[in-house]
């Protein structure tokens, strides 16, 4: 499952960060690393972008970037 498929209010753990080159490096620099817990906080009215909560802060991502992040253990709150 990828991060863009996580339900609103759901939480999961990052298992892998995909992408290539600068995109992957940027995602890792923002704190999206394997074994990090994430929660889907908000979705824009048209679904893109999404806001996730991780490591005590909120981060907004485009769906295109969220599709490159593998997650597991998705639970709804």
CATH code where residue 23 lies: 2.30.30.90
Q: What is the pTM of this model?
A: 0.85
Q: For residue range 17-26, what is the model confidence (pLDDT) as tens digits?
A: 998 889 999 9
Residues pairing with 61 in the sheet? 50
Return the sign of the alpha-carbon dihedral for residues 57, 51, 71, 22.
Answer: negative
Where does residue 68 fall: left (phi above 0), alpha (psi -120 to 50 degrees), or beta otherwise? alpha
CA distance 61 to 77: 21
Structural domains in the chain (count): 1
Q: For residue range 42-63, what is the model confidence (pLDDT) as tens digits?
A: 999 988 899 999 999 999 999 9
The answer to whether residues 14 and 71 touch, using CB atoms and an 8 Å cutoff, is yes
Residue 3: asked if its preceding bond is cis (omega within 30°), the reply is: no
User: Could you list the residue range(s) of the whole structural domain that residue 8 is in?
Assistant: 3-76
């Amino acid at each position: 499952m990828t991060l863009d498929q996580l339900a609103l209010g759901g939480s999961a753990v990052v298992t892998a960060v995909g992408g290539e080159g600068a995109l992957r490096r940027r995602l890792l620099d923002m704190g999206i690393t394997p074994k990090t817990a994430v929660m889907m906080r908000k979705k824009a009215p048209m679904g893109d972008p999404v806001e996730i909560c991780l490591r005590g802060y909120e981060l907004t991502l485009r769906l295109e970037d969220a599709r490159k992040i593998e997650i597991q253990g998705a639970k709804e709150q």
